[in-house]
């Protein structure tokens, strides 16, 4: 059974830092991997989707990479801002999505 | 932009009541999903549907049922609400076209059962 792990569970950084969030999964036979952002009490917002044939995707200050063979993905956030504070979840698609429990990010001004 | 809407942001119901949570998407997506989210447990899949009138059990279907009579609408039903069903409920949809399967979420319904 697919398991998705996100480390660390929580992270606090000063504004302006570049940071990396990690996601690992146990079964490399995935169709794609999706990163989401969730603000407190709200739904999930899709940030990036990486297909299994791709190595990375970029959107603005965000860059997500995928290494299927090692069962890992990273989300890189450049020049972090207080508005980036949220919980970040990764999910892999076998059928259907399997979610990690998220990393709660706090960016301190 | 894809839009997934849920009928209520907050809902308070009594134990034993029948509860309906409605989800509507406007992008003609084939696939729709219901999750619940609880602290420490993450998102857990309750039911999903790949087509009208089709439904599949997720990881925690007990105590729930679903209905999908129209492509754009997916309803979650709590037949007899219990306090352990107090949770955040999230609906999502995705398309099979193009092989993307990118999943889009609604704003969530915070259900409290007293």
Q: Hey, are the CB atoms on A36 and B107 less than 8 Å from each other? A: no
Asked whether the predicted pLDDT for residue B53 surpasses 90, the reply is no
Amino acid A96: pLDDT: 81
List chain A residues with CB under 8 Å of B101: 31-32, 93
Give the pLDDT band (50/70/90) at residue B102. Answer: confident
Model pLDDT, residue B32: 95
**Mean predicted lDDT score pLDDT of chain A:** 94
Beta bridge partners of A34: A49, A91
What average pLDDT is seen over chain B? Answer: 93
Backbone angles phi, psi at B99, to 5 degrees: 75, 10
Residue B54 to residue B62: CA distance in whole angstroms: 18
Residues of A in contact with B43 (CB under 8 A): 89, 99
- For residue B74, the number of C-alpha atoms closer than 13 Å in the C-beta half-sphere is 32
- What pLDDT shows up at residue B97? 76
Work out the average pLDDT over B81-85.
97
Neighbouring-strand partners of residue B104: B93
Give the SS3 label for residue A84: helix
Residues of A with Cβ-Cβ distance to B42 under 8 angstroms: 89, 99-102
Q: Determine the Cα–Cα distance for residues B109 and B114; give it in Å rounded to an integer.
A: 16
Whether the predicted pLDDT of B2 surpasses 70: no
pLDDT tens column, A41-87: 999 999 999 999 999 999 999 999 999 999 999 999 999 999 999 99
pLDDT cut 70: percent of chain A above it: 99
Q: What is the pLDDT of residues A89-101, one digit of tens each?
A: 999 987 688 999 9
Q: Which residues of A touch B (CB under 8 A)?
A: 31-32, 34, 36, 41-46, 49, 51, 89, 91, 93, 96-97, 99-102
pLDDT score of A93: 87
Rg for chain B, CA atoms, rounded: 13
């Amino acid at each position: 059974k697919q398991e998705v792990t996100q480390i660390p569970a929580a992270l606090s950084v000063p504004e302006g830092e570049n940071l990396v969030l990690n996601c690992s999964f146990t079964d490399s036979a995935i169709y794609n991997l999706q990163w989401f952002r969730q603000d407190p009490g709200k739904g999930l917002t899709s940030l990036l989707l990486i297909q299994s044939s791709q190595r990375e995707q970029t959107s603005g200050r965000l860059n997500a990479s995928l290494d299927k063979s090692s069962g890992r993905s990273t989300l890189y956030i450049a020049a972090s801002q207080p508005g980036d504070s949220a919980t970040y979840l990764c999910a892999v698609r076998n059928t259907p999505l399997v979610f990690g429990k998220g990393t709660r990010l706090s960016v301190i001004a | 932009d894809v839009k997934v809407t849920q009928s209520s942001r907050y809902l308070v119901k009594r134990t034993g009541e029948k509860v309906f949570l409605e989800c509507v998407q406007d992008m003609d997506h084939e696939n729709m999903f219901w999750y619940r989210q609880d602290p420490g447990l993450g998102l857990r899949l309750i039911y999903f549907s790949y087509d009208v009138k089709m439904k599949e059990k997720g990881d925690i279907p007990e105590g729930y049922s679903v209905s999908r009579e129209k492509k754009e609408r997916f309803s979650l039903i709590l037949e007899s609400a219990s306090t352990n069903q107090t949770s955040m409920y999230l609906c999502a949809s995705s398309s099979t076209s193009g092989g993307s399967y990118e999943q889009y979420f609604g704003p969530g319904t915070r259900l409290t059962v007293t």
